[in-house]
Amino acid sequence: MVDRDVLSARLSALAGYLAELRPFATLRREEYVREPALHHLAERYLHLACECVLDIAQHLISDQGYRQSDNYKDTIEVLEEEGLLDASLAERLKRWMGFRNVLVHLYLEIDHGKSYAAIREDLGDLEEFAAAMTRFLRS
């Protein structure tokens, strides 16, 4: 049985992180890349948003008795296999999981231009994930 309170809390946190990230998209790329106070904060919000995705996915896998995943990208594949995500969104989320690993483990090598591009162009992937999980909760 899915703990709806746990999932709702994670979805709420994800929505909050996405709301915090949107203003960064209005900055000029040069300003974002140049100012550590800007890109470091935004990249932390990106990391936290990715963690929400993983927490939600792993919680569903555990509670629903789905096969256990081998790694973070595989966690997304499990949700696709179970019909909770379509193939297109799953592929985009797997890229996010790769980006999460950069944010966490390769933080000295982050290309701030890429994080800026992710904020400007790809936050919709995380919003789409949240929408899919909200639909699951309502079913």
Task: Identify the CATH number of the domain in which residue 39 sits.
Answer: 1.20.120.580
- Model confidence at 79, pLDDT cuts 50, 70, 90, reads very high
81 pLDDT exceeds 80?
yes
pLDDT in tens, 55-71: 999 999 999 999 999 99
> What is the rounded distance in angstroms from the CA atom of residue 120 to the CA atom of residue 116?
6
Cα-Cα-Cα-Cα dihedral of 58, 63, 68, 71, to 10°?
0
pLDDT-based confidence at 3, cuts 50/70/90?
confident
pLDDT tens readout for residues 8-58: 999 999 999 999 999 999 999 999 999 999 999 999 999 999 999 999 999
* Pick from 116, 117, 99, 122: nearest CA to 51: 99
Q: How many domains does the chain have?
A: 1
Q: Residue 67: what pLDDT?
A: 96
pLDDT for the residue numbered 139: 83
| pTM, entire model | 0.95
- Give me the domain span that covers residue 42: 4-138
106-126: average pLDDT: 97
User: Quick one: average pLDDT of 102-118?
Assistant: 96
Cβ contact 136:66 at 8 Å:
no
Half-sphere exposure of 92 (CA within 13 A, CB side): 15
The pLDDT value given to residue 2: 77
